């Protein structure tokens, strides 16, 4: 049972075998394999693929959950692009968050990974300390950040006051509220850092030895060796962070509810309100919003993937 | 052997993947009918609810209750999904702001016939409280707590007296005077707030200014008028001129929270417009340092009706658009038995059901029977509507409960609270209320942040809500 089900059907040499050509034992093994993965396959079909297709169909309907859906064609999409004043606002807010948080997380996580990849004492402790916040439930994290960002007694303003900065109303000023959430996004830097760390540890030491022998400085080794060889990891981290940042919701829902003055109204919050807060529920409209987000994410991901051959270097 | 083992594992995996969670029920109850009952009374109210339901089961042999606590925030997705799936609960706690949509879509059943059959009449309840449960001339839910009185003016007598005020302000002008005297700070930052009027919804202030926000037939929005302008100007001027602007006053309240951390309890502000639940919090967490005490040793806080505006009058004070009660969804499996439970939780005054209850060291109810296993329980008469609220020191909307007269849980302020509740008016709720509220909040923000004039913001909000209503009536009318 060491071979995968795929290699079994294709035969050990990769040649495709017909079902009727399989021996009874191989057939039995194949059936066992299928049976064992069937809960996952059924789950995927029922809870991912079906809702995925259903939401697409629903996006062309008016659906209040209680009454059957009514087909309205492209009306939801027309309303979103022509009559929804909060669509563009929430999209721009989200874009601001995506750009800011991805940049902050990538730079910070890479810097921390570089530090932790050196021979510092208590390496395991530092790694754990930076990773632990990523494991804390979002509600608890949000409550902590409400205190950190408090204008009067918050840790952040206290720290800034040491640098001569006056009080900033992080959560009640439209000019600063989204920036407060960007600062908060550093909470989850640990996950990205761990992936960077794994990437850094995969770089063969011989490259650095050769660079040192050639007289390369630390900065030159970073630019000429580390960065090029870590680009596959950067690529992965950028993708993961873009996708998660576009779906930012929990902290906004808990901490600001989209305020002040819609400054933190993100796309997912806007979608959530239409689906679950408003009456009548607007499931069709929310589905259309979800599909627009899917297309935006798809385009962004495609751009990153398609341009990756220009800046991602695989060490093979 | 391997094959058998694999088969067992496979069967187990399949069973696990298709299994559903079992629902918990009271094992002691034997009955032909089991009602599914949803409510949102969390925290220390859970054992109180369990006792009230246990007493219902004793008083109604043959009916058992599957008592399900659900978070309030997810009530709509939960209820809508259950109704759409054809498996609604028999009885559910229900927000008044959600009523018009569910009634308009025929998703819940009217209670008038049941009420007539059992002699439950409107005059048994505080008028505003009962009025909020009607839609289209029918009664769709019955109230349990005094949700109606959400605009009670709770105030710190000591702070008002220190500033030279002997009584609670009657009008908006008098409220401004109190605010000017008690909102203090320096360099653009508040140290203390008299009252934050921006924390109370525009519709509540508008009601106190004598104006309905929507026509009785729920088809025409009426906020862009003189009363509306006066109301919005009052909120804007109070916030900007007295409370240092919306950014600062919002930032100030970040220091506070709920329960023992409310601004009034902490002494950060002097007046707070809030509900009857505030009484229990003030009594539990208020301190003599903040409130002082009277000759009897009582904390120095009071409660009074909301001040009225220039277009308002003393007979029409605050009002409410919220509040909650209990209803029966359409297609509920056992509507007749469900009515018995609704009646128990909303209209039941007397009880002859004795239960063994367990209390913790602080005297708080922890459950029915010997919960902590120390062999000690206390025998108590347990009931429904009145008893449930009395245990929380809340006045009941049910006139027969007589404030706090039962069970020895009397409170010196019960009459005050109910007196204010009687002055409350019903703020009419529209079928698109949640989205309308969001538009109204945005309107307030636009004015408070100086982005629009009062007149422009009111006109835009009125047009936007009117469009929502027109769409609703075109689809559901």
Report residue B7's pLDDT band, with 50, 70 and 90 as the boundaries.
very low
Neighbours of B78 (CB within 10 A): 16
Examine residue B14 and state whether it is found in any structural domain, yes or no: no
A279 contact residues in B (CB cutoff 8 A): 76, 98, 101, 431-435
Q: Answer whether B449 sits within 8 Å of A174, measured CB to CB.
A: yes
The number of domains in chain B is 2
Query: Are A285 and A147 contained in the same domain?
Result: yes
Q: pLDDT digit string (tens) for B332-364?
A: 999 999 999 999 999 988 888 999 999 988 788
Asked whether B385 and B346 are in contact (CB, 8 A), the reply is yes
Contacts of B188 in chain A (CB under 8 A): none
State whether B328 and B310 are in the same domain: no
pLDDT value of residue B9 = 47
Residue A206 CA, chain-centre distance (Å), reads 34
Nearest CA in chain A to B191: A152
pLDDT the model gives residue B13: 44
Asked if residue A54 and residue A89 are part of one domain, the reply reads no
Q: Are residues B360 and B235 in the same domain?
A: no
Q: How far is CA A182 from CA A95, A264, B171, B252, in A?
A: 12, 11, 44, 22
* Chain B contact for A250 (CB, 8 A cutoff): no
- Among B252, B433, B445, beta carbon nearest to A279: B433
Is the same domain home to B88 and B187? no
- Give yes or no for A8 touching B (CB within 8 A): no
Q: Are residues A224 and A149 in the same domain?
A: yes
Domain co-membership, B135 together with B243 = no
**Which ipTM was obtained for this model?**
0.85
Cβ contacts of A69 on chain B, cutoff 8 Å: none
Same domain, A172 and A23: no
For residue A12, being part of any structural domain is answered with yes
Domain around A227: 79-311
Q: Are residues B162 and B270 in the same domain?
A: yes
Max Cα–Cα distance, chain A, nearest Å:
79
Q: Is A277 on the interface with B (CB under 8 A)?
A: yes
| A32 plus A130 within the same structural domain | no
Residue A64 lies in a domain: no
Report residue B376 as tokens: 């000690």
Q: Are residues A160 and A89 in the same domain?
A: yes
- The C-alpha atoms of residue B193 and residue B186 are separated, in whole angstroms, by 12
- Residue ranges making up the domain that contains B444: 152-317+432-476
Quick one: B157 and B243 in the same domain?
yes
Cross-chain Cβ contact A279/B83 below 8 Å: no
Do the Cβ atoms of B446 and B452 come closer than 8 Å? yes
Q: Is residue A63 part of a domain?
A: no
Considering the domain boundaries, does residue A253 fall inside one? yes
Is residue A1 over pLDDT 50? no
B88 to chain A, minimum CA–CA distance in Å?
12
Domain tally, chain A? 2
Predicted TM-score of the model (pTM): 0.87
CATH number where B180 lies: 3.40.190.10
Judge whether B4 lies within some domain: no
B21 pLDDT band, cuts 50/70/90, is very low
Question: What digits encode the pLDDT tens for the residues B36-69?
Answer: 999 998 888 899 999 999 999 999 999 999 999 9
The answer on pLDDT for A4 being more than 60 is no
Shared domain for A211 and A98, answered yes or no, is: yes
B310: closest CA among B429, B240, B206, B239? B206
Facing residue for A36 by CB, picked from B10, B84, B438: B10
Same domain, B163 and B283: yes
Give me the helices (H) in B183-302, please.
202-208, 226-237, 246-252, 263-266, 277-285, 288-291
DSSP letters, chain A, are --S-HHHHHH-TTS----GGGS-HHHHHHHHHHHHHHHHHHHHHIIIIIHHHHHHHHHTTEE--SSSPPEE-TTHHHHHHHHH-HHHHHHHHHHHHHHHHHHHHHHHHHHHHHHHHHS--TTHHHHHHHHHHHHHS-HHHHHHHHHHHT-TTT-HHHHHHHHTT-----TTT-TTTHHHHHHHHGGGGHHHHHHHHHHHHHTS-HHHHHHHHHTT--HHHHIIIIIHHHHHHHHHHHHHHHHHHHHT--HHHHHHTTT-STTTT--HHHHHHIIIIISSS--HHHHHHHHHHHHHHHHHHHHHHHHTHHHH-----
In chain A, which residues have their Cβ closer than 8 Å to the Cβ of B438?
273, 277-278
Q: Between B83, B246, B434, which is nearest A277 by CB?
A: B434
On whether both B337 and B367 belong to a single domain, the answer is: yes
Answer yes or no: is B245 within a domain. yes
Taking the CA of residue B345 and the nearest CA in chain A, the distance in Å comes to: 27
Are residues A200 and A287 part of one domain?
Answer: yes
Residues A163 and A302 occupy one common structural domain:
yes
Instruction: Kindly state whether residue A68 falls inside one of the protein's structural domains.
Output: no
Looking at the fold, whether A35 and A95 belong to one and the same domain comes out as no
The better pLDDT of the pair B187, A87 is held by: A87
The answer to whether the Cβ–Cβ distance between A279 and B6 falls below 8 Å is no
Q: Please check whether residues B296 and B257 belong to one and the same domain.
A: yes
Mean pLDDT of the region B392-403: 74
Q: Are residues B413 and B464 in the same domain?
A: no
Q: Taking CB atoms and an 8 Å limit, are B80 and A65 in contact across chains?
A: yes
Mutate to test the interface with A, among B77, B80, B187 (most CBs of A within 10 A): B80
A97 in the same domain as A215: yes
In the stretch 9-48 of chain A, residues with CB closer than 8 A to chain B read 32, 35-36, 38-39, 42-43
Distance from CA of A36 to the nearest CA of B (A): 6
Q: Using a CB–CB cutoff of 8 Å, tell me whether B16 touches chain A.
A: yes
Render pLDDT for A146-162 as a digit per residue (tens, 0 to 9): 999 999 889 999 999 99
Both B116 and B192 in one domain: the answer is no
Same structural domain, A48 and A96: no
């Amino acid at each position: 049972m060491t071979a995968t089900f795929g290699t079994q059907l294709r035969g050990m040499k990769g040649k495709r075998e017909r079902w009727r050509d399989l021996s009874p034992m191989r057939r039995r093994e194949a059936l066992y394999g299928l049976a064992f993965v069937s809960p996952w396959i059924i789950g995927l079909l029922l809870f991912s693929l079906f809702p995925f297709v259903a939401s697409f169909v629903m996006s062309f309907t008016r659906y209040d959950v209680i009454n059957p859906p009514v087909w309205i064609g492209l009306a939801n999409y027309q309303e979103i692009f022509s009559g929804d004043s909060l669509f563009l606002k929430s999209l721009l807010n989200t874009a601001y968050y995506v750009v800011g948080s991805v940049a902050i997380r990538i730079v910070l996580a890479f810097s921390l990974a570089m530090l932790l990849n050196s021979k510092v004492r208590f390496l395991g402790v530092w790694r754990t300390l930076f990773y632990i916040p990523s494991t804390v439930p979002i509600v608890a994290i949000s409550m902590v950040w409400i205190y950190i960002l408090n204008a009067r007694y918050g840790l952040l303003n206290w720290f800034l006051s040491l640098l001569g900065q006056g009080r900033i109303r992080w959560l009640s000023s439209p000019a600063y509220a989204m920036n407060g959430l960007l600062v908060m996004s550093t909470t989850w830097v640990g996950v990205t850092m761990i992936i960077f760390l794994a990437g850094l540890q995969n770089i063969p030491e011989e490259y650095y030895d050769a660079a040192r022998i050639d007289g390369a400085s630390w900065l030159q080794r970073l630019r000429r060796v580390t960065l090029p060889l870590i680009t596959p990891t950067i690529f992965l981290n950028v993708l993961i962070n873009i996708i998660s940042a576009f779906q930012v919701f929990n902290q906004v829902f808990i901490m600001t509810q989209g305020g002040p003055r819609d400054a933190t109204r993100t796309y997912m919050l806007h979608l959530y309100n239409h689906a679950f807060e408003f009456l009548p529920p607007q499931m069709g409209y929310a589905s259309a919003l979800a599909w627009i987000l899917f297309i935006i994410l798809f385009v962004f991901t495609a751009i990153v993937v398609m341009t990756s051959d220009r800046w991602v270097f695989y060490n093979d | 052997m391997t094959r058998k083992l694999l088969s067992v594992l496979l069967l187990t995996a399949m069973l696990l993947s298709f299994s559903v969670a079992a629902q918990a029920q009271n094992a002691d109850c034997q009955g032909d009918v089991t009602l599914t009952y949803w409510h949102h009374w969390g925290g220390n109210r859970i054992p109180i609810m369990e006792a009230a339901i246990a007493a219902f089961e004793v008083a109604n042999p043959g009916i058992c209750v599957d008592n399900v606590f659900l978070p309030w925030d997810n009530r709509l997705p939960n209820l809508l999904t259950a109704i759409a799936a054809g498996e609604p609960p028999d009885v559910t706690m229900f927000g008044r702001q959600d009523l018009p949509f569910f009634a308009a879509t025929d998703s819940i059943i009217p209670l008038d016939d049941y009420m007539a059959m059992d002699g439950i009449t409107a005059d048994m309840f505080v008028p505003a409280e009962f009025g909020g449960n009607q839609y289209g001339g029918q009664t769709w839910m019955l109230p349990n707590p005094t949700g109606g009185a959400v605009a009670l003016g709770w105030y710190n007598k000591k702070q008002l007296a220190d500033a030279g005020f002997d009584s609670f302000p009657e009008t908006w002008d008098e409220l401004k005077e109190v605010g000017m005297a008690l909102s203090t700070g320096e360099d653009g930052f508040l140290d203390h707030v008299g009252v934050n009027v921006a924390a109370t919804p525009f519709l509540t202030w508008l009601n106190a200014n004598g104006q309905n926000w929507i026509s009785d037939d729920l088809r025409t929005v009426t906020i862009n008028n003189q009363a509306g302008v006066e109301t919005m100007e009052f909120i804007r001027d109070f916030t900007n001129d007295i409370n240092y602007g919306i950014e600062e006053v919002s930032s100030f309240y970040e220091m506070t929270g709920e329960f023992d951390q409310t601004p009034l309890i902490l002494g950060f502000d002097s007046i707070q417009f809030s509900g009857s639940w505030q009484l229990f919090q003030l009594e539990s967490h208020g301190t003599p340092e903040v409130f002082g005490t009277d000759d009897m040793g009582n904390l120095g806080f009071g409660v009074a009706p909301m001040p009225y505006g220039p277009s308002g009058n003393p007979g029409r004070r605050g009002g409410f658009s919220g509040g909650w009660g209990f209803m029966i969804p359409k297609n509920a499996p056992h509507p007749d038995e469900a009515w018995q439970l609704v009646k128990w939780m909303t209209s039941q005054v007397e009880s002859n059901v004795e239960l063994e209850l367990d209390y913790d060291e602080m005297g708080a109810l922890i459950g029915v029977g010997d919960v902590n296993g120390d062999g000690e329980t206390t025998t108590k008469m347990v009931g429904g509507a009145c008893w449930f609220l009395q245990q929380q020191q809340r006045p009941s909307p049910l006139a027969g409960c007589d404030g706090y007269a039962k069970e020895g849980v009397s409170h010196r302020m019960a009459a005050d609270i109910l007196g204010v509740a009687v002055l409350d008016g019903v703020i009419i709720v529209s079928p698109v209320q949640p989205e309308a509220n969001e538009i109204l909040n945005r309107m307030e923000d636009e004015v408070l942040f100086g982005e629009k004039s009062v007149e422009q913001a009111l006109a835009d909000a009125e047009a936007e809500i009117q469009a929502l209503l027109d769409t609703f009536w075109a689809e559901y009318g």
